[in-house]
Amino acid sequence: MLDPRVRRLAQLLVRHSTKLQKGEHLLIELFDAPECIGIALVEEARAVGGNPHVAIRSNRVMRALNEDASEENLATWAAYDLDRMTRMQAYIAIRGSENVSEMSGVSDEQMKRVARIYQKPVHFERRVNHTKWCVLRWPTPSMAQLAQMSTKAFEDFYFDVCTLDYAKMDAACQPLAARMSKTDKVHIKGPRDTDLTFSIKGIGIVPCCGDRNIPDGECFTAPVKTSVNGVVHYNTPTIYNGVTFDNVRLVFKDGKIVEATADQNSDTLNAIFNTDAGSRYVGEFAIGFNPFIKTAMKDILFDEKIAGSFHFTPGRCYAETDNGNVSEIHWDLVCSQRPEHGGGEIRFDGELIRKDGLFVPADLHGLNPDRLGAR
């Protein structure tokens, strides 16, 4: 018998996140995730008249495939997965992980090759732009350890975060999206020496309240490509291709990262930003507001939704928020402005929008944690 929380999550993913319709094809990819969520998704897809397809993945096998695959190998793999993705109208990925550093040790050059030959055509160009998609984690002891919680406590936290009232969140987010659509200048001050200015004038605005990612809770756009100036000092740890970075600090001049440092692995950090011409420019700016997520746990699908955070993302922009930046990378780096993390302000055209993690204008109070249901 399925855990009712699993059933509820499957219903949310099929009916709200991807809005699967009768006759549509849904690809379900399970990465080290249990059978129960796969079965629940298949049954829910069939209940609405959809056609489910399932791919079972192992992260250890994926590492073996990625580690020394030739370009010919990657191209053929990409071709047949791209053909399958082209036949899908919806996509759900459940990503479990027994080891968040599984890809550690695979060379930077090889990971760039995988991104260019496989990830870019299959996911970034086809799946992201042409399917109704949603990606989420699955709770594991490894994730509980990162969150410094017991396995049971983390599971309870996970289902609270993932199955909250996203329709309520979506309604509360509309005034923020409307304000962002009218904004030119954004000014951010934050922990340490964060002091950043940029324009979002004329760029699309996308509220994310239960689609694309679960957990959700952000509203994103992109800066005008050459408008970014100043410093952002991220105060949450991050993992990229299995490598951990702490206290990443970026200095921008006319949109470009001209200085990048971290507490460790600064050479690797700069190698990532030297991937291509677009990797030193920013493709996304987003404001996070999931009421149940308050601290970082080295998992970007959770960390980028921290209530009172923003993320500022070097690399590729999304089609809906096109600022002209093209890159093989898209690296969400997160800064929390909650009081316990140093506080901070976000201003739109001089008006104070959020202070120390809480929205200030009355029409945005619905996005504050006490209004979104946090206990």
pLDDT tens per residue across span 114-150: 999 999 999 999 999 999 999 998 998 888 888 888 9
User: Mean pLDDT across the stretch 6-15?
Assistant: 95
User: Mean pLDDT across the stretch 48-60?
Assistant: 96
pLDDT single digits (tens) 245-299: 999 999 999 999 999 999 999 999 999 999 999 999 999 999 999 999 999 988 8
Question: In the predicted model, is pLDDT for residue 180 greater than 90?
Answer: yes
pLDDT bracket for residue 375 (50, 70, 90) = very low
* Three-class DSSP labels, the chain: CCCHHHHHHHHHHHHHHCCCCCCCEEEEEEECCCHHHHHHHHHHHHHCCCEEEEEEECHHHHHHHHHCCCHHHHHHHHHHHHHHHHCCCEEEEEECCCCCCCCCCCCHHHHHHHHHHHHHHHHHHHHHHHCEEEEEECCCHHHHHHCCCCHHHHHHHHHHHHCCCHHHHHHHHHHHHHHHHCCCEEEEECCCCCEEEEECCCCCCEEECCCEEECCCEEEECCCCCCCEEEEECCCCEEECCEEECCCEEEEECCEEEEEECCCCHHHHHHHHCCCCCCCCEEEEEEECECCCCCCCCCHHHHCCECCEEEEEEECCCHHHCCCCCCCCECCCEEECCHHHCCCEEEECCEEEEECCEECCHHHHHHCHHHHCCC
Question: In the predicted model, is pLDDT for residue 335 greater than 80?
Answer: yes
User: What's the predicted TM-score (pTM) here?
Assistant: 0.81
How high is the pLDDT of residue 146?
81
How high is the pLDDT of residue 27?
98
Question: In the predicted model, is pLDDT for residue 242 greater than 90?
Answer: no
How high is the pLDDT of residue 374?
54
Better-scored residue on pLDDT, 100 or 87 = 87
pLDDT bracket for residue 57 (50, 70, 90) = very high
Q: How many residues belong to the chain?
A: 375
Domains in the chain, ordered, with CATH? 4-162 (3.40.1830.10), 166-372 (no CATH)
Report the mean per-residue pLDDT for the chain.
94
Q: Quote the percentage of the chain above a pLDDT of 70.
A: 99
How high is the pLDDT of residue 106?
87
pLDDT single digits (tens) 191-241: 899 999 999 999 999 999 988 888 999 999 999 999 999 999 999 999 888
